[in-house]
Amino acid sequence: MRSNFSRSTASPLRIITVGDVDHGKSTLLGRLLYDTHSLSQEQLSSLHLANQAHRGAFEFAFALDAFWEEQSRNITMDVTEVPLRRSAREYLMIDAPGHREFLKNMITGASRADAAILVVSIRDGIREQTERHLQLLKLLGIDQIIVAVNKLDLLDFSQQAFEQTAEEIKTLFNQLALPYLRIIPLAARLGANVVTKSPLLPWYEGPALFPSLSELKSPLAEEEKPLRFFIQDVYHVGGEPLLVGRVESGTLRVDEELLFWSQHQGVCSQRIRSIEEWGATHAPLSATAGESIAIRLQGPLSLQRGDLVTTPKHPPLQSHRLVVRLFWFEKKNLCLQQKVILRLATQRVGASVASILHVVEGTTSIVMKEEERAVHQDQVADVSFQLEQPLFYDFHQEIPTTGRLLITLPAGEEQTGEIIAGGGILNAPYSF
């Protein structure tokens, strides 16, 4: 599952640290920032000040965990983002909380990441939360993962202990059918193998963590995929309607014959007269994935938010019934017949749970008895929905940006309900 909404390939690479609580994610990032001189003088003095108020070992994590609640409890509560400055390539490091109660914050951070560093403490090894984070990365389409086995100082920098943990990690990645780039032994607090190779780990032949980041690839542009342009709104500026929205995938061209899909009026063929850009010296003739644009049509056509523009060659799917692999982070269980709202791009539709096919627990999938079927907090499950109105969509494997949706609680007319889940639309036989 590829996650990234079309990003500029020239944008800084976003890397998230994941793993169980206390395995050293924030320390590792703090150390990376510190050793690459990415912290400003003011950030450095806050780091030292925060540490003076704190008993115990020097905590590099305080460079990121800025709330006093975070520093006093030594935890990360919410996701943060910091640039790694002093390198040829720009990186944005995202620190995400490991605590289960903060899983929705971890997903918020991971949804905008291009790559991940999985931190595993050598003393604790793989934990339930380690598995859950990996599973979420897979669901979010993050398939560039570097593994940092941390705290080697606690086991005397033992090669044997490292190799044993590395084996377990490899097995887990295999079971989840996820690739990993490297497994690096390090001691974040000491800075060993973080930015430079440490003499404390002479038996390790690979690179330190920081140089290995250069092996990560920038996200691919989605320009080559079929065109998907969802109408976001219609403005009445300068006479004729101005249709605005973002190209979710593919390329949209002026004068090309296109199909306009409307929930209410079916499908019509029409051409785009112009792409309008305020302040531009000449009007663009095309727009590619990721661009927010405004267009005018050659002929009259009444359109509204949620309508879709495609080429005749690649029409969308449209259905009353969808199977979604979702991650559920609401406290209350998801149950059969439950009513929810599905949001896909700018479409919004009421739906109910038709069936819960199975729940994915760690590396196995569990099929429950019909009457017991429910999805619990933080579980991943395949769920089939019955929609009140058909939705335009794609399979997630084919076009990620229009093949994934978000689930909220039902709410009033204008009000939107809380987000309770997200997921990708599966094609039969329902696998990734």
Ligand X SMILES: Nc1nc2c(ncn2[C@@H]2O[C@H](COP(=O)(O)OP(=O)(O)O)[C@@H](O)[C@H]2O)c(=O)[nH]1
Q: Which of 48, 53, 182, 217 binds other proteins (CB under 8 A)?
A: 53
Q: Which of 237, 283, 285, 366 binds other proteins (CB under 8 A)?
A: 237
88 binds other proteins (CB under 8 A): no
Nearby residues of 178 by Cβ (< 8 Å), 6 or more positions away: 134, 137, 138, 143, 145
Q: Which stretch binds other proteins (CB under 8 A): 10-18, 21-29, 179-187, 317-325?
A: 10-18
Residues 163-202: x where in contact with ligand X by CB under 6 A, - otherwise, as a string? ------------------------xxxx------------
From the list other proteins, ligand X, none, which binds 21 (C-beta under 5 to 8 Å, kind-based)? ligand X
70 binds ligand X (CB under 6 A): no
Q: Which stretch binds other proteins (CB under 8 A): 205-213, 228-236, 377-385, 391-399?
A: 228-236
Residue 31 to residues 26, 61, 74, 92, 378, Cα–Cα distance (Å): 8, 8, 16, 15, 30
Least distance CB 370 / other proteins (angstroms)? 30
Q: Which of 55, 266, 278, 364 binds other proteins (CB under 8 A)?
A: 278
238 or 300: CB nearest other proteins: 238
Q: Which stretch binds ligand X (CB under 6 A): 18-26, 137-145, 346-354, 422-430?
A: 18-26
Q: Which of 191, 170, 180, 95 is nearest to 126 (CA)?
A: 170
CA 135, chain centre distance (Å)? 12
Angle between helix 128-140 and 103-110 (nearest 10): 40
Q: Which of 281, 300, 418, 428 binds other proteins (CB under 8 A)?
A: 418
Q: Distance (Å, rounded) from C-alpha 357 to C-alpha 35?
A: 48
74 binds ligand X (CB under 6 A): yes
Least distance CB 129 / ligand X (angstroms)? 10
Q: Per the structure block, which two tokens stand in for 251?
A: 């390329």
* Terminal Cα-to-Cα distance of the chain (whole angstroms): 7
Nearby residues of 152 by Cβ (< 8 Å), 6 or more positions away: 122, 158, 161, 162, 185, 186, 187, 192, 200, 201
* Angle in degrees, CA 76, 81, 87, rounded to 5: 125
Q: Which of 248, 259, 161, 247 is nearest to 203 (CA)?
A: 161
Q: Per the structure block, which two tokens stand in for 132?
A: 């859950």
Q: Which residues contact ligand X by CB under 6 A? A: 19, 21-27, 57, 59, 61, 74, 76, 98, 119, 150-151, 153-154, 187-190
Q: Which residues contact other proteins by CB under 8 A? A: 5-8, 10-12, 40-43, 46, 49-50, 53, 64, 66-69, 77-83, 104-105, 107-108, 111-112, 221, 232-233, 235, 237-238, 242, 244, 246, 276-279, 288, 290-292, 294, 305, 329, 343, 404, 406, 408, 412, 414-419, 422
